[in-house]
Amino acid sequence: MNILQKKSEIFARRKARIRVKIFGTAERPRLTIFKSHRYLYAQIIDDTKGHTLVSCDSKKAGSKKPVEKAKDVGLEIAKKAKEAKITTVVFDRNGYLYAGKIKVIADAAREGGLKF
């Protein structure tokens, strides 16, 4: 087994461990984050129905620094959530460590009015 397979297995185990504990309902949906190498994505999901209620990404953020893109995503998801009358969410960091861009997205979403 090479090192990349081992890293991906560790990540998958961490993600599964987190997802067992976190579940989004209609009253308190789940805010989940996904990072690709280039973009950041955020979704608010109602797990009881299996529907994405609100989503946004960093594709339209332009040529900014990654941390600025993360802040834009957090503020945008909070704005869209307010429009959809969502005030409280459960934060799902999706296996990523709560640092850097993930923390910036969470802080910006709180700043935008979401409650975790």
Whichever domain contains 51, its CATH number is 3.30.420.100
pLDDT computed for residue 113 by the predictor: 94
Residue 92: the pLDDT is 93
Is residue 24 in some structural domain? yes
DSSP string, 13-77: HHHHHHHHH----SSS-EEEEEE-SS-EEEEEEETTTTEEEEEEESGGG-S--HHHHHHHHHHHH
85 in any annotated domain: yes
| Regions in the chain scoring below 70 on pLDDT | 1, 4, 63
Domain of residue 82 covers 3-111
pTM of the entire structure?
A: 0.87
pLDDT of residue 8: 87
> Which residue type is seen at 40?
L
Determine, yes or no, domain membership for 57. Answer: yes
State how far the Cα of 6 lies from the Cα of 20, in Å rounded to an integer: 21
Count of domains forming the chain: 1
**CA 24 – CA 18 distance, rounded (Å):** 13
Domain-embedded: residue 116: no
| 47 occurs within a structural domain | yes
Answer whether 92's CB lies under 8 Å from 16's CB: no
